[in-house]
Amino acid sequence: MIPRTVDQLVAAARGGERRATARLLTMVERGGEPAAEVASTTWSHVGVAGTDTHVVGVTGPPGSGKSTLVAAWLTALAAEGRRPAVLAVDPSSPLTGGAILGDRVRMAEASAAGVFIRSMATRGHAGGLALAVPGMIRVLELAGFDPVVVETVGVGQVEVDVTSTTDTCLVVVTPGMGDAVQANKAGLLEVADLFAVNKSDRPDAADVRRDLELMLDLSDLTGHRRPGMVDRPAVVSTTATTGVGVGDLSAAVDAHRDALVAGGTLQERRRQRWQAEVRSHLDERLRRVVDGAVAGLEPSDRAPYDVAAALSRGWDRGAEAGR
């Protein structure tokens, strides 16, 4: 079989061919020259003008039911005639680079309903996502999927990459995650646009709701909001395994998008997403430079701080020169 060019793949993906979309996703994920070609081609098609595709991040602790909830929600959307896709991220082993990507196990029904599901590993990237995620979102936009959902690895408190990669960030929490002090710590909870209290059939689910609402009351009191936050985040109770609350969740996600559009903040979020993407590629390049600089270094009479200062001399001028 003759390999298809990027332009041919893009045309096929836009025409609804899932295999072409999958191949473009692989090219972006693998990086290097082919990824650069796909990146510039997809940017010219859907990046410059932007699309109406709603990009939704779903995050939360391991075992909170993210996959099951996303599957139930997207299955319902597909039944309504929408074309949802999901990028499901699981962790790579830091030692071998291998990964077990298990999200499809909980998404069999969604797959049967026509939801496009792509599993991916973090491939050494911290922060709950993988470096290739923004580029892969753009491929899915190109292929006409809407919404595009990004499900992060199970995260704790500080992995907030997803907020700078998506339009709307849904945080899934469950009973038994801790008390009100946990809810008021800085990090993931303060950047949520929406909360789902999943496994809400459990007896202590009401406590979680109360703690979240109190946490949000305090946010109202101090006036502290993530920049571009449109409204007080909604808290929706769900039981993903039975479908209870999934309709409410779906409506809340759509309402958040409408609020972003009405408030004029969608464009601001997209500007932030663009900057975050440039930043992550810069971070990756810098990381390789740093890895090279550190390789082979041995302890000496100079302090680590001084070694770093000497090695990085002139770096800031390099960034200025590239503008």
Where along the sequence are the contacts to other proteins (CB under 8 A)? 1, 3-4, 9, 18-19, 22-23, 25-27, 30-31, 34, 92-93, 96-102, 104-105, 108, 111-112, 116-119, 121, 123
SS (H, E, C) 153-174: CCCCCCCCHHHHCCCEEEEEEC
Query: Which one, 104 or 270, has the nearer CB to other proteins?
Result: 104
Taking phi over 0 as left and psi of -120 to 50 as alpha, with beta for the rest, 187 belongs to left
Least distance from other proteins to the Cβ atom of residue 88, Å: 10
Least distance from other proteins to the Cβ atom of residue 178, Å: 30
Least distance from other proteins to the Cβ atom of residue 34, Å: 7
Least distance from other proteins to the Cβ atom of residue 85, Å: 9
Query: Which one, 94 or 299, has the nearer CB to other proteins?
Result: 94
Query: Which one, 72 or 107, has the nearer CB to other proteins?
Result: 107
Q: What is the DSSP string of 160-224?
A: -GGGGTSSEEEEEE-TTS--HHHHHSSSGGGG-SEEEE-STTSTTHHHHHHHHHHHHHHHHHHT-
Query: Which one, 34 or 228, has the nearer CB to other proteins?
Result: 34
Least distance from other proteins to the Cβ atom of residue 267, Å: 31
Please report where in the chains the tokens 């990085």 appear, as a residue.
312
Least distance from other proteins to the Cβ atom of residue 67, Å: 12
Query: Which one, 1 or 321, has the nearer CB to other proteins?
Result: 1
As a whole number of angstroms, the distance between CA 104 and CA 40 comes to 30
Indicate the residue type of 125.
H
Query: Which one, 96 or 300, has the nearer CB to other proteins?
Result: 96
Phi and psi at 57, nearest 5°, equal: -95, 140
Contacts of 230 (CB under 8 A, 6+ apart): 193, 256, 259, 260, 263, 265
Residue 147's Cβ-count burial label (10 Å; 0-12, 13-18, 19+) is buried
